Structure 1
Amino acid sequence: MHSAFTDSENLIRMLDAAESIAGAAELRVRSYEQLSLKPGATVVDAGCGAGRAVAELAERGARASGVDLDPVMVRAARERFPAIDVREADVLSLPLADGEAEGYRADKVYHVLPSPAEALAEARRVLTPGGRIVLVGQDWDTMVIDSSFPEVTRRIVHARADTITHPRIARGYRNLLLDGGFGDVTLEVHTAVFTDASAQQLLPGHAAAARAAGVISEAESAEWLSDQATRAADGRLMIAVPMFLAAGTRLP
Protein backbone atom coordinates (compact mmCIF):
# COMPACT_ATOMS: atom_id res chain seq x y z
CA MET A 1 0.00 0.00 0.00
CA HIS A 2 1.29 3.47 -0.85
CA SER A 3 2.58 5.30 2.23
CA ALA A 4 0.57 8.46 1.50
CA PHE A 5 -2.59 6.36 1.37
CA THR A 6 -1.69 4.71 4.68
CA ASP A 7 -0.99 8.07 6.31
CA SER A 8 -4.34 9.41 5.15
CA GLU A 9 -6.20 6.35 6.44
CA ASN A 10 -4.44 6.70 9.80
CA LEU A 11 -5.36 10.39 9.91
CA ILE A 12 -9.00 9.55 9.20
CA ARG A 13 -9.00 7.11 12.13
CA MET A 14 -7.43 9.75 14.39
CA LEU A 15 -9.98 12.36 13.28
CA ASP A 16 -12.81 9.92 13.90
CA ALA A 17 -11.48 9.31 17.41
CA ALA A 18 -11.12 13.03 18.08
CA GLU A 19 -14.61 13.79 16.76
CA SER A 20 -16.21 11.15 18.99
CA ILE A 21 -14.82 12.23 22.38
CA ALA A 22 -16.97 14.02 24.92
CA GLY A 23 -17.26 17.68 24.01
CA ALA A 24 -16.16 17.33 20.38
CA ALA A 25 -19.68 17.65 18.98
CA GLU A 26 -20.34 20.63 21.24
CA LEU A 27 -17.18 22.35 19.96
CA ARG A 28 -18.27 21.81 16.35
CA VAL A 29 -21.69 23.24 17.17
CA ARG A 30 -20.06 26.25 18.80
CA SER A 31 -18.02 26.83 15.64
CA TYR A 32 -21.23 26.72 13.56
CA GLU A 33 -22.93 29.19 15.91
CA GLN A 34 -20.00 31.59 15.57
CA LEU A 35 -20.43 31.60 11.79
CA SER A 36 -23.86 33.25 12.32
CA LEU A 37 -25.15 31.90 9.01
CA LYS A 38 -28.58 32.62 7.60
CA PRO A 39 -30.47 29.79 5.88
CA GLY A 40 -29.08 29.20 2.40
CA ALA A 41 -25.83 31.06 3.09
CA THR A 42 -22.72 29.80 1.32
CA VAL A 43 -20.03 28.46 3.64
CA VAL A 44 -16.75 26.70 2.87
CA ASP A 45 -15.09 24.21 5.23
CA ALA A 46 -11.41 24.47 4.33
CA GLY A 47 -9.46 21.27 4.91
CA CYS A 48 -12.73 19.41 5.45
CA GLY A 49 -11.22 15.96 6.01
CA ALA A 50 -13.83 13.21 5.96
CA GLY A 51 -16.67 15.70 5.63
CA ARG A 52 -18.56 15.53 8.93
CA ALA A 53 -18.73 19.31 9.41
CA VAL A 54 -19.85 19.86 5.81
CA ALA A 55 -22.72 17.44 6.34
CA GLU A 56 -23.68 19.03 9.65
CA LEU A 57 -23.58 22.55 8.20
CA ALA A 58 -25.82 21.41 5.34
CA GLU A 59 -28.24 19.90 7.85
CA ARG A 60 -28.40 23.32 9.52
CA GLY A 61 -29.58 24.87 6.25
CA ALA A 62 -26.33 26.24 4.86
CA ARG A 63 -25.11 25.85 1.30
CA ALA A 64 -21.97 24.08 2.45
CA SER A 65 -18.91 23.08 0.43
CA GLY A 66 -15.89 21.17 1.65
CA VAL A 67 -12.39 21.53 0.25
CA ASP A 68 -9.46 19.19 0.89
CA LEU A 69 -6.23 18.63 -1.02
CA ASP A 70 -6.02 14.95 -0.05
CA PRO A 71 -7.88 12.71 -2.55
CA VAL A 72 -8.24 9.97 0.08
CA MET A 73 -10.05 12.41 2.36
CA VAL A 74 -12.28 13.62 -0.46
CA ARG A 75 -13.18 10.06 -1.38
CA ALA A 76 -13.94 9.20 2.25
CA ALA A 77 -16.15 12.28 2.57
CA ARG A 78 -18.12 11.38 -0.54
CA GLU A 79 -18.54 7.76 0.60
CA ARG A 80 -19.71 8.74 4.08
CA PHE A 81 -21.92 11.65 3.08
CA PRO A 82 -23.00 11.15 -0.57
CA ALA A 83 -25.20 14.25 -0.61
CA ILE A 84 -22.50 16.78 0.31
CA ASP A 85 -20.48 19.03 -1.99
CA VAL A 86 -16.79 18.29 -1.44
CA ARG A 87 -13.99 19.20 -3.82
CA GLU A 88 -10.32 18.32 -4.16
CA ALA A 89 -8.54 21.67 -3.98
CA ASP A 90 -5.89 23.62 -2.09
CA VAL A 91 -6.98 25.92 0.74
CA LEU A 92 -4.53 28.44 -0.77
CA SER A 93 -6.57 28.45 -3.99
CA LEU A 94 -10.22 27.89 -3.14
CA PRO A 95 -12.66 27.11 -5.97
CA LEU A 96 -14.88 30.08 -5.13
CA ALA A 97 -15.25 33.51 -6.66
CA ASP A 98 -14.32 36.71 -4.86
CA GLY A 99 -16.89 37.45 -2.14
CA GLU A 100 -18.92 34.32 -2.90
CA ALA A 101 -19.11 32.99 0.67
CA GLU A 102 -20.79 34.26 3.81
CA GLY A 103 -18.87 31.86 6.01
CA TYR A 104 -15.45 30.18 6.19
CA ARG A 105 -14.38 27.51 8.65
CA ALA A 106 -11.05 25.73 9.15
CA ASP A 107 -10.76 23.10 11.89
CA LYS A 108 -7.38 21.56 12.77
CA VAL A 109 -5.87 22.80 9.50
CA TYR A 110 -3.66 25.88 9.88
CA HIS A 111 -0.95 24.12 11.91
CA VAL A 112 0.05 22.00 8.89
CA LEU A 113 0.00 24.77 6.27
CA PRO A 114 3.24 26.24 4.92
CA SER A 115 1.81 29.77 5.20
CA PRO A 116 -1.21 30.37 7.45
CA ALA A 117 -1.20 34.06 6.46
CA GLU A 118 -1.64 33.12 2.79
CA ALA A 119 -4.50 30.79 3.67
CA LEU A 120 -6.15 33.58 5.63
CA ALA A 121 -5.75 36.00 2.71
CA GLU A 122 -7.49 33.43 0.51
CA ALA A 123 -10.27 33.12 3.09
CA ARG A 124 -10.71 36.88 3.04
CA ARG A 125 -10.86 36.84 -0.76
CA VAL A 126 -13.78 34.41 -0.92
CA LEU A 127 -15.69 36.03 1.93
CA THR A 128 -18.13 38.83 1.31
CA PRO A 129 -17.66 41.96 3.45
CA GLY A 130 -19.36 41.16 6.74
CA GLY A 131 -18.79 37.43 6.21
CA ARG A 132 -17.75 35.34 9.18
CA ILE A 133 -14.64 33.24 9.71
CA VAL A 134 -13.99 30.57 12.35
CA LEU A 135 -10.64 28.90 13.04
CA VAL A 136 -10.34 25.91 15.38
CA GLY A 137 -7.15 24.17 16.44
CA GLN A 138 -5.01 22.82 19.23
CA ASP A 139 -1.85 24.20 20.76
CA TRP A 140 0.59 21.31 20.37
CA ASP A 141 3.01 22.67 22.97
CA THR A 142 0.45 22.63 25.80
CA MET A 143 -0.85 19.07 25.65
CA VAL A 144 -1.28 17.82 29.22
CA ILE A 145 -0.60 14.16 30.05
CA ASP A 146 -0.79 12.85 33.62
CA SER A 147 2.29 10.71 34.12
CA SER A 148 4.58 9.22 36.76
CA PHE A 149 7.44 10.74 34.75
CA PRO A 150 6.59 14.46 34.32
CA GLU A 151 10.04 15.55 33.14
CA VAL A 152 10.09 12.86 30.44
CA THR A 153 6.54 13.87 29.51
CA ARG A 154 7.62 17.48 28.99
CA ARG A 155 10.38 16.37 26.64
CA ILE A 156 7.98 14.13 24.72
CA VAL A 157 5.30 16.78 24.32
CA HIS A 158 7.75 19.43 23.09
CA ALA A 159 9.51 17.01 20.74
CA ARG A 160 6.18 16.03 19.18
CA ALA A 161 5.25 19.70 18.83
CA ASP A 162 8.51 20.36 17.02
CA THR A 163 7.44 17.96 14.25
CA ILE A 164 4.45 20.21 13.45
CA THR A 165 4.88 23.01 10.91
CA HIS A 166 3.19 25.63 13.13
CA PRO A 167 2.64 23.95 16.52
CA ARG A 168 1.62 27.17 18.30
CA ILE A 169 -0.50 28.78 15.58
CA ALA A 170 -3.75 28.31 17.51
CA ARG A 171 -2.64 30.59 20.36
CA GLY A 172 -1.96 33.20 17.67
CA TYR A 173 -5.32 32.94 15.88
CA ARG A 174 -6.61 36.21 17.34
CA ASN A 175 -3.65 38.26 16.16
CA LEU A 176 -3.63 36.42 12.82
CA LEU A 177 -7.22 37.54 12.22
CA LEU A 178 -6.56 41.09 13.39
CA ASP A 179 -3.57 41.35 11.05
CA GLY A 180 -5.52 39.77 8.18
CA GLY A 181 -8.33 42.30 7.82
CA PHE A 182 -10.91 40.96 10.26
CA GLY A 183 -12.80 42.72 13.04
CA ASP A 184 -15.05 41.72 15.95
CA VAL A 185 -12.42 39.08 16.73
CA THR A 186 -13.10 36.75 19.64
CA LEU A 187 -11.05 33.90 21.09
CA GLU A 188 -12.24 30.99 23.23
CA VAL A 189 -10.50 27.93 24.65
CA HIS A 190 -12.26 24.59 25.07
CA THR A 191 -10.35 21.76 26.73
CA ALA A 192 -10.68 18.29 25.25
CA VAL A 193 -10.21 15.67 27.97
CA PHE A 194 -9.41 12.04 27.12
CA THR A 195 -9.83 9.43 29.87
CA ASP A 196 -10.97 6.43 27.84
CA ALA A 197 -8.39 3.68 27.36
CA SER A 198 -8.69 4.03 23.58
CA ALA A 199 -6.95 7.41 23.77
CA GLN A 200 -3.75 5.54 24.60
CA GLN A 201 -3.32 5.03 20.84
CA LEU A 202 -2.36 8.72 20.58
CA LEU A 203 0.77 8.26 22.69
CA PRO A 204 3.17 5.89 20.85
CA GLY A 205 3.58 8.43 18.04
CA HIS A 206 4.56 11.07 20.57
CA ALA A 207 7.14 8.79 22.14
CA ALA A 208 8.49 7.84 18.70
CA ALA A 209 8.92 11.52 17.79
CA ALA A 210 10.85 12.12 21.01
CA ARG A 211 13.09 9.10 20.39
CA ALA A 212 13.76 10.27 16.82
CA ALA A 213 14.68 13.72 18.13
CA GLY A 214 17.11 12.15 20.59
CA VAL A 215 15.49 13.71 23.66
CA ILE A 216 14.51 10.41 25.31
CA SER A 217 16.14 7.01 25.33
CA GLU A 218 14.59 3.69 24.33
CA ALA A 219 14.41 2.78 28.01
CA GLU A 220 12.66 6.03 28.92
CA SER A 221 10.20 5.54 26.07
CA ALA A 222 9.38 1.99 27.15
CA GLU A 223 8.97 3.01 30.79
CA TRP A 224 6.77 5.98 29.89
CA LEU A 225 4.53 3.96 27.56
CA SER A 226 4.26 1.17 30.13
CA ASP A 227 3.11 3.71 32.73
CA GLN A 228 0.45 5.03 30.33
CA ALA A 229 -0.70 1.49 29.48
CA THR A 230 -1.12 0.73 33.19
CA ARG A 231 -3.11 3.93 33.66
CA ALA A 232 -5.34 3.04 30.72
CA ALA A 233 -5.93 -0.47 32.06
CA ASP A 234 -6.78 0.92 35.51
CA GLY A 235 -9.14 3.58 34.14
CA ARG A 236 -6.74 6.35 35.17
CA LEU A 237 -5.57 7.71 31.82
CA MET A 238 -5.76 11.51 31.53
CA ILE A 239 -4.86 13.54 28.47
CA ALA A 240 -6.05 17.13 28.05
CA VAL A 241 -5.71 19.23 24.92
CA PRO A 242 -6.60 22.95 24.77
CA MET A 243 -8.62 23.74 21.64
CA PHE A 244 -8.72 27.38 20.56
CA LEU A 245 -11.70 28.78 18.66
CA ALA A 246 -11.27 32.19 17.06
CA ALA A 247 -13.96 34.03 15.10
CA GLY A 248 -14.12 37.30 13.24
CA THR A 249 -15.90 39.38 10.62
CA ARG A 250 -14.40 40.32 7.25
CA LEU A 251 -13.90 44.07 7.14
CA PRO A 252 -14.66 45.96 3.91
Structure 2
Amino acid sequence: MTKETEQTQDPTGDLIALLDAADRLPGAAELRSRSFDLLNLRPRAAVVDVGCGAGRAVVELAERGVKAIGVDPDERMIAVARSRWPALDYRIAGAYELPMADASMDGFRADKVFHQLAEPERALAEAYRVLAPGGRIVLIGQDWDTFIIDSDDPVLTRTIVHARADLTVSPHVARRYRNLLLEAAFDQVTVEAHTGVLTGSAMLPLLAGLAEGACSAGAVTREQANTWVAEQRKRGGMDRLFLALPMFVAAAIRPH
Protein backbone atom coordinates (compact mmCIF):
# COMPACT_ATOMS: atom_id res chain seq x y z
CA MET A 1 0.00 0.00 0.00
CA THR A 2 0.89 3.72 -0.21
CA LYS A 3 1.86 6.31 2.34
CA GLU A 4 -0.18 9.00 0.61
CA THR A 5 -3.86 9.75 1.01
CA GLU A 6 -6.11 12.63 0.10
CA GLN A 7 -5.35 15.23 2.76
CA THR A 8 -8.06 16.98 4.71
CA GLN A 9 -7.95 19.14 7.83
CA ASP A 10 -5.39 16.92 9.62
CA PRO A 11 -3.01 15.51 6.98
CA THR A 12 -0.67 13.84 9.48
CA GLY A 13 -3.54 12.26 11.40
CA ASP A 14 -5.07 10.97 8.17
CA LEU A 15 -1.71 9.59 7.07
CA ILE A 16 -1.09 7.84 10.39
CA ALA A 17 -4.54 6.24 10.23
CA LEU A 18 -3.83 5.07 6.68
CA LEU A 19 -0.42 3.68 7.65
CA ASP A 20 -1.94 1.83 10.61
CA ALA A 21 -4.60 0.36 8.32
CA ALA A 22 -1.98 -0.60 5.73
CA ASP A 23 0.06 -2.37 8.43
CA ARG A 24 -2.96 -4.59 9.12
CA LEU A 25 -3.73 -5.53 5.51
CA PRO A 26 -3.43 -9.17 4.45
CA GLY A 27 0.17 -9.87 3.49
CA ALA A 28 1.59 -6.64 4.94
CA ALA A 29 3.33 -8.29 7.89
CA GLU A 30 4.72 -10.98 5.61
CA LEU A 31 6.11 -8.37 3.22
CA ARG A 32 7.83 -6.53 6.07
CA SER A 33 9.24 -9.82 7.31
CA ARG A 34 10.60 -10.59 3.85
CA SER A 35 12.32 -7.21 3.75
CA PHE A 36 13.94 -7.94 7.12
CA ASP A 37 15.13 -11.33 5.87
CA LEU A 38 16.72 -9.68 2.83
CA LEU A 39 18.69 -7.36 5.11
CA ASN A 40 20.29 -10.52 6.55
CA LEU A 41 21.28 -8.76 9.74
CA ARG A 42 23.17 -10.40 12.58
CA PRO A 43 22.23 -9.65 16.21
CA ARG A 44 23.23 -6.12 17.30
CA ALA A 45 23.72 -5.00 13.72
CA ALA A 46 22.75 -1.37 13.01
CA VAL A 47 19.97 -0.65 10.51
CA VAL A 48 18.24 2.58 9.52
CA ASP A 49 14.58 2.54 8.48
CA VAL A 50 14.15 5.60 6.25
CA GLY A 51 10.69 7.14 6.12
CA CYS A 52 9.74 5.11 9.19
CA GLY A 53 6.36 6.80 9.63
CA ALA A 54 4.71 5.75 12.88
CA GLY A 55 7.55 3.32 13.52
CA ARG A 56 6.17 -0.22 13.39
CA ALA A 57 9.00 -1.65 11.26
CA VAL A 58 11.55 -0.27 13.73
CA VAL A 59 9.80 -2.19 16.51
CA GLU A 60 9.80 -5.41 14.49
CA LEU A 61 13.46 -5.00 13.61
CA ALA A 62 14.33 -4.42 17.27
CA GLU A 63 12.45 -7.61 18.13
CA ARG A 64 14.91 -9.42 15.86
CA GLY A 65 17.75 -8.25 18.05
CA VAL A 66 19.18 -5.53 15.84
CA LYS A 67 19.88 -1.89 16.65
CA ALA A 68 17.17 -0.17 14.62
CA ILE A 69 16.95 3.57 14.02
CA GLY A 70 13.86 5.13 12.45
CA VAL A 71 14.10 8.42 10.57
CA ASP A 72 11.34 10.52 9.05
CA PRO A 73 11.23 14.18 7.98
CA ASP A 74 7.79 14.72 9.55
CA GLU A 75 8.21 15.92 13.16
CA ARG A 76 4.66 14.93 14.05
CA MET A 77 5.16 11.43 12.67
CA ILE A 78 8.28 11.00 14.79
CA ALA A 79 6.37 12.31 17.81
CA VAL A 80 3.76 9.58 17.31
CA ALA A 81 6.46 6.90 16.97
CA ARG A 82 8.20 8.11 20.13
CA SER A 83 4.92 8.19 22.07
CA ARG A 84 4.11 4.63 21.06
CA TRP A 85 7.57 3.16 21.55
CA PRO A 86 9.59 5.56 23.75
CA ALA A 87 12.45 3.10 24.31
CA LEU A 88 13.39 3.03 20.61
CA ASP A 89 15.50 5.42 18.54
CA TYR A 90 13.51 7.74 16.27
CA ARG A 91 15.04 10.81 14.62
CA ILE A 92 13.80 13.66 12.42
CA ALA A 93 15.64 13.45 9.10
CA GLY A 94 15.06 13.03 5.39
CA ALA A 95 16.49 10.52 2.94
CA TYR A 96 18.98 13.00 1.48
CA GLU A 97 20.77 13.83 4.74
CA LEU A 98 20.84 10.97 7.24
CA PRO A 99 22.15 11.61 10.78
CA MET A 100 24.67 8.77 10.59
CA ALA A 101 28.42 8.66 10.13
CA ASP A 102 30.05 7.24 7.03
CA ALA A 103 30.05 3.42 6.86
CA SER A 104 28.24 3.16 10.22
CA MET A 105 25.18 1.13 9.19
CA ASP A 106 24.83 -2.56 8.39
CA GLY A 107 21.42 -2.13 6.80
CA PHE A 108 19.29 0.48 5.04
CA ARG A 109 15.56 0.00 4.50
CA ALA A 110 13.03 2.26 2.77
CA ASP A 111 9.42 1.11 2.49
CA LYS A 112 7.06 3.08 0.23
CA VAL A 113 9.35 6.12 0.33
CA PHE A 114 11.14 6.58 -2.97
CA HIS A 115 8.00 7.52 -4.91
CA GLN A 116 8.00 10.69 -2.77
CA LEU A 117 11.54 11.65 -3.76
CA ALA A 118 12.34 13.90 -6.70
CA GLU A 119 15.98 12.77 -6.60
CA PRO A 120 16.12 9.03 -5.85
CA GLU A 121 19.73 8.94 -7.05
CA ARG A 122 20.66 11.37 -4.28
CA ALA A 123 18.98 9.17 -1.66
CA LEU A 124 20.88 6.13 -2.92
CA ALA A 125 24.16 8.03 -2.75
CA GLU A 126 23.35 8.79 0.88
CA ALA A 127 22.49 5.14 1.51
CA TYR A 128 25.84 4.15 0.00
CA ARG A 129 27.59 6.65 2.27
CA VAL A 130 26.12 5.40 5.54
CA LEU A 131 26.36 1.69 4.74
CA ALA A 132 29.49 -0.18 5.73
CA PRO A 133 31.15 -2.33 3.05
CA GLY A 134 29.06 -5.47 2.81
CA GLY A 135 26.01 -3.65 4.19
CA ARG A 136 22.64 -4.36 2.63
CA ILE A 137 19.94 -2.10 1.22
CA VAL A 138 16.28 -3.04 0.72
CA LEU A 139 13.72 -0.89 -1.09
CA ILE A 140 9.98 -1.60 -1.15
CA GLY A 141 7.43 0.19 -3.31
CA GLN A 142 4.74 0.13 -5.92
CA ASP A 143 4.56 1.36 -9.47
CA TRP A 144 1.74 3.88 -9.43
CA ASP A 145 0.45 2.86 -12.86
CA THR A 146 -0.18 -0.72 -11.72
CA PHE A 147 -3.30 -0.53 -9.59
CA ILE A 148 -5.36 -3.41 -11.04
CA ILE A 149 -9.01 -2.67 -10.32
CA ASP A 150 -12.08 -4.48 -11.59
CA SER A 151 -14.73 -2.08 -12.85
CA ASP A 152 -17.65 -1.86 -15.23
CA ASP A 153 -15.79 1.01 -16.93
CA PRO A 154 -12.17 -0.05 -17.54
CA VAL A 155 -11.43 3.02 -19.66
CA LEU A 156 -12.46 5.40 -16.88
CA THR A 157 -10.57 3.25 -14.37
CA ARG A 158 -7.41 3.49 -16.45
CA THR A 159 -7.83 7.27 -16.66
CA ILE A 160 -8.25 7.57 -12.89
CA VAL A 161 -5.23 5.39 -12.11
CA HIS A 162 -2.92 7.17 -14.54
CA ALA A 163 -4.10 10.64 -13.51
CA ARG A 164 -3.46 9.85 -9.84
CA ALA A 165 -0.03 8.48 -10.76
CA ASP A 166 0.80 11.77 -12.45
CA LEU A 167 0.27 13.59 -9.12
CA THR A 168 3.04 11.52 -7.52
CA VAL A 169 6.59 12.89 -7.46
CA SER A 170 8.24 9.73 -8.82
CA PRO A 171 5.38 7.39 -9.77
CA HIS A 172 7.52 4.89 -11.71
CA VAL A 173 10.56 4.69 -9.45
CA ALA A 174 9.84 1.08 -8.37
CA ARG A 175 10.33 -0.19 -11.91
CA ARG A 176 13.67 1.61 -11.84
CA TYR A 177 14.95 0.11 -8.59
CA ARG A 178 17.30 -2.37 -10.24
CA ASN A 179 18.89 0.11 -12.61
CA LEU A 180 19.10 2.83 -9.97
CA LEU A 181 20.92 0.49 -7.60
CA LEU A 182 23.31 -0.66 -10.31
CA GLU A 183 24.04 2.92 -11.34
CA ALA A 184 24.69 3.80 -7.68
CA ALA A 185 27.45 1.12 -7.66
CA PHE A 186 25.59 -1.42 -5.51
CA ASP A 187 26.27 -5.10 -6.12
CA GLN A 188 24.27 -8.36 -6.18
CA VAL A 189 21.03 -6.56 -7.05
CA THR A 190 17.82 -8.60 -6.92
CA VAL A 191 14.17 -7.65 -7.43
CA GLU A 192 11.06 -9.54 -6.32
CA ALA A 193 7.39 -8.86 -7.03
CA HIS A 194 4.79 -9.57 -4.35
CA THR A 195 1.21 -9.02 -5.49
CA GLY A 196 -1.45 -8.41 -2.91
CA VAL A 197 -5.06 -9.25 -3.83
CA LEU A 198 -7.45 -7.12 -1.78
CA THR A 199 -11.20 -7.63 -1.92
CA GLY A 200 -12.64 -6.06 1.20
CA SER A 201 -14.52 -2.82 1.73
CA ALA A 202 -11.53 -1.55 3.71
CA MET A 203 -10.07 -0.60 0.31
CA LEU A 204 -12.83 1.91 -0.40
CA PRO A 205 -11.01 4.94 1.12
CA LEU A 206 -7.98 4.18 -1.04
CA LEU A 207 -10.11 3.87 -4.18
CA ALA A 208 -12.00 7.06 -3.32
CA GLY A 209 -8.64 8.80 -2.90
CA LEU A 210 -7.59 7.71 -6.39
CA ALA A 211 -10.79 9.13 -7.87
CA GLU A 212 -10.50 12.36 -5.89
CA GLY A 213 -6.94 12.85 -7.08
CA ALA A 214 -7.94 12.32 -10.71
CA CYS A 215 -10.82 14.75 -10.28
CA SER A 216 -8.63 17.40 -8.68
CA ALA A 217 -6.22 17.06 -11.60
CA GLY A 218 -9.05 17.68 -14.07
CA ALA A 219 -8.68 14.26 -15.69
CA VAL A 220 -12.27 13.26 -14.83
CA THR A 221 -15.38 15.19 -13.91
CA ARG A 222 -16.91 15.23 -10.46
CA GLU A 223 -19.83 13.19 -11.80
CA GLN A 224 -17.47 10.58 -13.26
CA ALA A 225 -15.52 10.33 -10.02
CA ASN A 226 -18.68 9.99 -7.92
CA THR A 227 -20.16 7.39 -10.27
CA TRP A 228 -16.96 5.33 -10.21
CA VAL A 229 -16.69 5.45 -6.42
CA ALA A 230 -20.37 4.51 -6.09
CA GLU A 231 -19.74 1.46 -8.27
CA GLN A 232 -16.79 0.41 -6.13
CA ARG A 233 -18.84 0.94 -2.97
CA LYS A 234 -21.58 -1.25 -4.41
CA ARG A 235 -19.02 -3.90 -5.30
CA GLY A 236 -17.69 -3.77 -1.76
CA GLY A 237 -21.17 -4.30 -0.34
CA MET A 238 -21.69 -7.30 -2.62
CA ASP A 239 -18.24 -8.80 -1.96
CA ARG A 240 -17.27 -8.12 -5.58
CA LEU A 241 -14.53 -5.53 -5.07
CA PHE A 242 -11.17 -6.52 -6.58
CA LEU A 243 -7.88 -4.69 -6.27
CA ALA A 244 -4.49 -6.23 -7.02
CA LEU A 245 -1.35 -4.28 -6.24
CA PRO A 246 2.15 -5.53 -7.10
CA MET A 247 4.83 -4.47 -4.66
CA PHE A 248 8.47 -4.56 -5.75
CA VAL A 249 11.20 -5.47 -3.29
CA ALA A 250 14.77 -4.73 -4.38
CA ALA A 251 17.85 -5.72 -2.44
CA ALA A 252 21.55 -5.11 -2.96
CA ILE A 253 24.91 -4.99 -1.20
CA ARG A 254 27.40 -2.17 -0.83
CA PRO A 255 30.57 -3.73 -2.22
CA HIS A 256 33.79 -4.01 -0.22
The reply to whether TM is greater than 0.5 is yes
Aligned to 2:145, the other structure's residue is in SS state: helix
Distance 2:63 2:110 in 1: 18
How far the C-alpha of 1:18 sits from its partner, in A, is 1.3
Do structure 1's residue 58 and structure 2's residue 62 form an aligned pair? yes
Q: In the alignment, which residue of structure 2 is the partner of 1:91?
A: 95
SS in 2 for 1:129: strand
The equivalent residue for 1:246 is 250
State whether residues 8 and 14 of structure 2, in contact with CA within 8 Å, keep that contact through their aligned partners in structure 1. no
Q: Aligned partners of 1:153, 1:4: CA distance in 2, in Å?
A: 24
Gaps of 5+ in 1: none
Letter in 1 for 2:215: R
Note if 1:166 corresponds to 2:173. no
- Report the AA paired with residue 229 of structure 1: R
Residue identity in the other structure for 1:93: E
Q: Deviations over 1:45-78 (max 9, x none)?
A: 0110000000100000000000000011101111
The runs of 5 or more residues in structure 2 that have no matched partner are 1-6
Matching of residues 204-219 of structure 1 within 5 Å: 204-219=208-223
TM-score by length of 1: 0.96
1:1-252 → structure 2 map (5 Å cutoff)? 6-252=10-256
SS at match of 2:49: strand
State the secondary structure of the residue aligned to 1:8. Answer: helix
Is the 1:5–1:72 contact (alpha carbons within 8 Å) kept by the matching residues of 2?
no
How far residue 234 of structure 1 moved from its aligned partner, in angstroms, is: 0.9
Q: 1:130 to 1:29 in 2, by over 3 A?
A: same
- Whole-Å separation in 2 of the counterparts to 1:180 and 1:5: 39
Q: Cα–Cα, structure 1 residues 5 and 250, in superposed 2: closer, same or farther, change >3 Å?
A: farther
Instruction: Give the secondary-structure state (helix, strand or coil) at the position aligned to 1:214.
Output: coil
- Between 207-216 and 32-41, the greater mean CA deviation after superposition: 207-216
Equivalence for 2:3: none
Task: Tell me which amino acid in the other structure corresponds to 1:95.
Answer: P
Aligned equivalents of 1:88 and 1:196: distance in 2? Answer: 35
Aligned residues: percent identity? 53
Specify the code of the residue in structure 1 equivalent to 2:58.
Answer: V
Kept in 1, the 8 Å contact 2:78–2:91? The answer is yes
Aligned residues: 250
Do 2:197 and 2:242's aligned partners in 1 also have CA atoms closer than 8 Å?
Answer: yes
Aligned CA-pair RMSD: 1.3
Amino acid at match of 2:105: A
Structure 1 residue matching 2:252: 3-state secondary structure: strand
Aligned-partner Cα distance in 2 for 1:155–1:77:
37
SS at match of 2:10: helix
In the alignment, the residues of structure 1 paired with residue 40 and residue 77 of structure 2 have an alpha-carbon distance, to the nearest angstrom, of 27
